[in-house]
Amino acid sequence: MAKRKRSIFGWIWFVIWRAALILILVLFLFRFVPLPTTAFMLQSPYPVSQDWISIDELPAHMPLAVVASEDQRFPSHIGLDFISIRKALDKYGDGEGLRGASTITQQTAKNIFLWPGRSFVRKGIEASLALGLEVIWGKKRILEVYLNVAEFGKGIYGVEAASQYYFKRSASRLTKNQAARLAVMLPSPRTRQANALTFYLGQRVIWVERQMQQLGSGHLKAILE
């Protein structure tokens, strides 16, 4: 019986390290080449539209708008924002739902590999993948991939496809206001329109633009160079 248990644990360990090795190789590959698809795209109930664009072709205010809206500590954290995690856990302990605290790195990992929904299991996997992305990809690549795989509407993935759809122009020509309009869509992209803002979203755009100004053009300079 003891030998059988050792055999089972040995087989489980073999599967785990082989899967981890394959994942590491995949991450190294996509550090340099565009991702052909993601888990979220494959699960989309809508026809998928996506056009890859290099982060170097984007105006600096496009990534800044996303960071200002979604994850202002992105340049300094390690993929997990422990301050936000603590606040989210405190709210969960007070009876509120499990939400918030996801960094851009975690959202990138979720979009590429996982599934929608909230659970501690998915959050645990997401956190592990986020740490791997930080080590293997680095900040600039994470932000570039996020800008290309995040959903900005029903089946519209990435800032290039979103810019073409909403503003009839390449993302390389987005204004600061248009960048902020796209950024405010990210929490609920299937229920929002960047070119037809509600009053709430209009106020949110003003807030994002103010945050962009306060953070300044140098906020992402170190990771984009």
Q: Which domain holds residue 6?
A: 2-26+50-224
3-class SS of residue 38:
coil
Confirm whether 173 is domain-assigned: yes
Length of the chain: 225
**CATH number for the domain that contains residue 167:** 1.10.3810.10
Domain count, the chain: 1
State the Rg of the chain over Cα: 19
pLDDT (0 to 100) of residue 13: 78
Q: How confident is the model at residue 183 (pLDDT cuts 50, 70, 90)?
A: very high
pLDDT (0 to 100) of residue 187: 85
Question: What's the rounded mean pLDDT across residues 157-167?
Answer: 98
pLDDT (0 to 100) of residue 91: 57
Question: What's the rounded mean pLDDT across residues 89-111?
Answer: 74
Confirm whether 55 is domain-assigned: yes
Confirm whether 192 is domain-assigned: yes
3-class SS of residue 36:
coil
Q: Residue 133: what residue type? A: L
Q: How confident is the model at residue 186 (pLDDT cuts 50, 70, 90)?
A: very high
| pLDDT at residue 105 tops 60 | yes
Confirm whether 85 is domain-assigned: yes
Confirm whether 35 is domain-assigned: no
d(CA 65, CA 217): 11
Contacts of 215 (CB under 8 A, 6+ apart): 64, 67, 68, 72
Confirm whether 189 is domain-assigned: yes
- Give 42-81 pLDDT, tens digit per residue: 999 999 999 999 999 999 999 999 999 999 999 999 999 9
User: What is the residue-averaged pLDDT of the chain?
Assistant: 90
